[in-house]
A and B are shown apart, each in its own frame.
Chain A
């Protein structure tokens, strides 16, 4: 902007101004280069930070070492290239090594130990990885088909792990003890195959249906002995059996819940209200694991579909379609699904029923008849999902929703199957355990009745009699049941049936039966799975691949295609499978072991099938999103599968002649029995208390309260979470809005500025007058104006960084905007100083600036623009600190010019650490720097002039010109900061002289003002130099000025003393001032003088002086008046900031002075 401004200014100004501009530009360039250096420096900061560790303070050393260790520990999480990481790591290690020795020896040992530990743990980890089963296989699949398919296998592996644990539990605590210490096969009735079955015990179909030897083996509940203690160690098998049975569920629950909790912690962020559909579809679309070109192709296609879908969806969101047809279709589809669900349930029930009938009617069953139930169930589980899929096409849902529907339906189907099966089985159990036909009549009606009747009457009478007592109890319970269910039929029959039933009971062990059925189901399911993989996937793949050439259509892409790997359904199948295991585990302790084998087989078969003949499902079912989904379903399944088992345990009487609990009324009696008989008396008493309602009820209440409390906490946390998020969002958006407003205002600023110039002029005048008479009121007014910017300040600085680019651009614009005002300058100047003979260079500019300045202040709308401007300004000063002497002029200008702005800025940045400031400052692009100074210049003079001139003027003591010159020369001599400082010191030494004094004061003031910015030394230097310059300038400019200088100095002295006296007064706001360019030094408004006066210490004095000055000295140049205004404005602004920073400022001031 300086270039844009120059012509305008130049036309109205003497040559010297042009010179000055040149120097300004030069300076700005310097600033820029300095900034560049700075930037480089800052980029190296990180490296340097690691290095400086030179202190002998052990505490510090220790901290440093800790810091270095942190670096070492976290280095891998930094996105640096390896080379750099290596370097940093080496450095950090070196430091740790070098300094750690200096600390205690034990610490050295500790670290050595820690190192060793780390190495060992790493080694362990490395070897552990080797033992994760199928890791390589899964990785391979993952790299071919992506994470979705892999998630299935990972889930399978996880289930495998669970089943291993379950197997170990049952194996170690039930099966092995029974095998080792239990009564051997054939010794007791329950372990002997009945004679009539012995012949067929080894037939294949008997084995196949898990009869014969298998039935009387550890596979099933019935085999386990009822002896309370077995072996020499007295192992309590029945108790163990019961506890392990419960532990299976407990363990599954715990592990599931833990996994889910972990998962949900991982995906804590997936808050439902945050929706990034599109972003996710783009940013997270690609699965980087895919390495197989075919998979990549289909993935690519899926992504395209996905994106298109999203777009279409978005478009259709806007238009809502009336979909009567669709809705009716969906209703129809749902009806169909419900019908098929009901149908499948009915079929299962029917089959179980029929099998019971058959069993009772026919002594010999065919293979089909024996396996009917399992086969039908498996068939249904295989076919129904496909049927659902067809139906789902009717509905025309979005694929994602339809997938969800599909999953839900399949899950319901599986559950329905399992439940109808188990209910049917329990029905049978009912009839078996209670031996009362009417009971089973509940569901299967007369069939079971017939069944019981048709039971063959066998066995010895003696056994019958021995069991008489037991069976009576059974009948009694049965009677009770009948009464409770309101079925009071055939009580009469009871007794007649009774004897026969007792016999059947002996051989019929309902627990074994249930176990058999579950195992059978599991086996059949496995066979069907294998079959479907081979047939549907493999054969189909073969056909498609090799027959596609000799077929009239493209088999690969049209009809048969390759089998898809349907992740969701496969996972559901796994869940279903696991559900069967849980359901049957209690009755068949070896079921988990079988499941382990099954899962291993499935793993290999599936992975082989996937790699050879499957293509990934078109519908991508995402891995992690589904993770908890799978688990949730699994948990649901677990719960529902546990119910029947628990129900059976609680509800039914255990079989009389088989199993560990035979002879007990209820299975769980084993626990109370053990407690009563095998524990000391006190224990059972304690147990009695604990289980009494007195304890249980309060405990329950407590639990409920706890749950409620935790839930309340969770709710409140959620609430605060939401609020915080909202707050964040609004803050962000508001900040952004502000930035935009500011930018907009900035753009408008030029026009507005021109429009309002007249207004401004007036207001300026008024304010000036006001200032002259009563400075304080005006201040207030000004302060008010500035308040808004201040307020926004805090928030804005956060924004600025990101918006820096924008701001800068606009800043330039605004900067350039300021120049137009120059045209109006003359008027204003006149207004201010009618008597002025020669318009000062500073003067015109000053007015310009003041205008813009006032403009900001007066324009509510423009507030933002003002703010923006001040930001850049602030940055500038910082940059300018470093430059060498020549740059001083500029820096001084900027500082002074910014004053008003700077103060605001300071406030804004109160909370910002110094570093940030520096960096932000350094970041400013060059054009900014260049232009800003000009702007600042404009602002400057006006305010300053008023002040200084008036005050200074009347004393009229001609200062010794040489002194100021001396200073000048000194300063010039010292090309660098240090040089400056030296000169400053010199001047300080000269303190007795008025001029030097003023200089001294100035720095102090400056400090006060700028200490906030923390660049004291630089600032001081520039200030001091300015001060001197000003003095010089004044001398050169006019005699009057010289006089003023003298006065200034005097005042400076006064103010100085006053200053010291009232340190609070640190408000000497105005320090800012004039920047002096050594070469063009002449035209400088003596800001230096102004400052001292402004110094708070003597506000009154100043005021007094001012008044006389202004009135009497109206002839004094614009400079004065402008300076005054300037001062005022700055004061106002600084007022607040100073107050806040009073202390800081004081301190710094003192330092400086000293």
Chain B
């Protein structure tokens, strides 16, 4: 019975396990099988509608019905419905509590044992207790913080936040501090020019003067506020795009560079003082003009003719001026000087040449003749500047600078000349006129000069022959040094019967010349050689050429270059090589030759001279003495601690006793072996040089960690003497570059591209202020990958 239901309770009972908080969800736990306790209690205020009260019916006959009811309730509770039907009030009764608790067990007897039974610890109550203790433990709501405290909290939070915000710049700052180079302003702005119209439109005349001026302008209808540029002008301004402008600028720049280059060149050329250079230049100009004229002649004969007329006029005028007749004051003075002065002579010659040129009749050539002319001219153009005017091929001294084929040509010319005997000279004269027609002007001039000179020389020769003995000693009067007087004709006329005289002549002429190169010296030697063998040559000569002439040719050849002999056998067949080589060179007292020899001798006994000069010095002994001295000085000195007067009599003239000296003279330990003891030629001083120390760094400077690093930094040179231009520039770039006139604004997020994007997140920005080019290898790889 008990196991099934609960006994009828007289007053309202609350089932345990249903605390009324609505925590118990399952209806099964309501069964008192495990919790059979009966608690006498009032339904508490918090017992909500979920609390279950059971009303017990007093009547016995109703018992079965009640139980049935209970059963129904239990079953219905099984379904989980929380709300249960309240006990129905079937009839009016006084025992009904106003709290909706029916007093079913009001008449029942309460048995003590039943009351006593449930007094033991119950788990269900403990939860209630716990709650009670919890409620007790709960403290009251805290008082609000004091104002200072609250502010402090706010400050701390704000500080943390701000520090974090500011910390975003950390990377930028570090990068800037470490940067090799910083260029300020960081953001290069392109200067925008405000159009004039805008500036003007905002401006108004205020002062009376301004108003007056504007009034005037209005009267004359000048543009004031209108665009100051006409539409065409603005269009033209806009027409040129940036690219075009750049291109144009580059072109202009280039043009300017070229111009400046030519200007510099012209200036440089103008500065050149060399007369020879100017002569050559003039000649080349003349030639160029001639060529141009010829071209003009071809293309536009009439214009050419007109030009020719003009030229002719000029020539005539000049011819009339008597400028170049060598008769003026200047010419006369030059004539006096000409004997001694090469320059004066040359000037005179030039004058003569000019004269000749002017007096010459200008021929108008037909165009058909030109092709034949041109090569000839080319030849002459090569020969003329290289060979001095007077070089007839007879004098090796005059061959300053040999020039290959042209020279040979000259030689052949000479040969031709030589071949012609004196007697045929008149005929030659006739021929020459024809030749001259073919030759260029310079060539003609040359020939002319040669003739003149020859005439002069012949006169001189005749004079010489008259006073035979005297002339031997006296140098030729009109004979020019470099322009050798002896021509082939003379020699031919003089013949072989006068070799000593000829030799004498050579010597005399040599006095005026000067050995200029080693080749010339060789030429001299060979000349001697050949002269000795003159007769032999004559004997072996197959040609009926006068021996003298042949000899000259050979001299020329040899004088020019020894190695040419092998190269040009064609030339050499004139001379028998064996004969030349077999000849023993003869020592001839030549005025310029000994100088060279002397020099060689000086070179040979240089050693002897030096030994003689430093005869008294014994360097080795001095050195050993010095070293010994250094060794002595480096030995540790004994320390003298002897004090006179202590322990004995002192005074003037009294010396400390030997015992005392022995006791107080402290001998130092021997020094370690010297580093140079096995090096006889070296003195190594280990003493620190205080003079040098004053210039040396005594402490390791801050950024360096080891002295090697510092030394390395000092040892690496920076200058352009030791580095290429590019490296030099790189090494000397300044760390900070600013531009004058540019405002440097404070750093901002826009300056730093990554900063702007990461500004909100506060992430670490990896950015670069100095724009860096992407690494080329990477780029290349990428390109290859594509």
A binds B: no
Residues of A near any B CB (own CB < 8 A): none
Residues of B near any A CB (own CB < 8 A): none
